[in-house]
Amino acid sequence: MSFMTMLSKKFSLPAQDEALPGRSDAIVPGEAHFVNGRSLQGPYPETFKTVLFGMGCFWGAERLFWQLPGVHVTAVGYAGGHTPNPTYHETCTGRTGHTEAVFVVYDPDQTSLSDLLKVFWENHDPTQGMRQGNDTGTQYRSAIYVGSEEDLALAEQSRDTYQSALKAGSHMASITTEIRQLDEFYFAEDYHQQYLAKNPAGYCGIGGTGVSCPTGL
């Protein structure tokens, strides 16, 4: 395979028949949340809700959300692709179709999806396609994966609102964020979970456009 062919594949999603085969055994978190001690897998309180965000490298993105009031637990993993139970190294080849994602479990009585979406939009650049800053490839694409039609509509509305804010702020590029209902989320390996709490000096690629997201989405 030529270098240019490899490069083009890094920026395009594989079809299902092109994806790596994966495996039947899932990666199961062996530890509780490093910061708050709660179970990553649950069970979660039945009134709590979940959402997944892809916004580049998942290390820094996860730290944003575990600090928020109303967030019960966070975890990192892989979503939006074809390969069952992928590993980190497989996801980084671009041949699983997954993006690095942060799984957020939250109490809707304490925080709202709109509040979480505001943090999402303001802390990365959702116009960059298959990259985020210097991190390049399909695994770094911007994404929102939700669990219901109601949340899907809210996420799409928030995208349109933020697109208008970007244009008003002279940021004319179009948002490329993938927004859809979630098919499957796969936990990442233990060493990725709450990485920046375990490694405070570790890499964090978080950076936004500088444009605020309007409240009351």
Distances (CA, A) of 67 to 33, 38, 104, 116: 13, 14, 11, 12
pLDDT at 156 over 80: yes
The confidence band for 216, taking pLDDT boundaries of 50, 70 and 90, is low
Give CA 149 to chain center in angstroms.
19
- The tens digit of pLDDT for each residue in 19-49 reads 999 999 999 999 999 999 999 999 999 999 9
Q: Copy the structure tokens of residue 180.
A: 């859809």
pTM of the complete model: 0.94
The confidence band for 91, taking pLDDT boundaries of 50, 70 and 90, is very high
The confidence band for 183, taking pLDDT boundaries of 50, 70 and 90, is confident
Cβ neighbours, 10 Å, residue 16: 9
pLDDT at 8 over 60: no
- The tens digit of pLDDT for each residue in 98-141 reads 999 999 999 999 999 999 999 999 999 999 999 999 999 999 99
Over the chain, what is the mean pLDDT? 94
Whole-number pLDDT of residue 10? 81
Catalytic positions, please? 57
CATH of 27-198, one of 2.130.10.10, 3.40.1190.20, 3.30.1060.10, 3.90.226.30: 3.30.1060.10
- The tens digit of pLDDT for each residue in 61-71 reads 999 999 999 99
Q: What are the sequence ranges of the domains in the chain?
A: 27-198
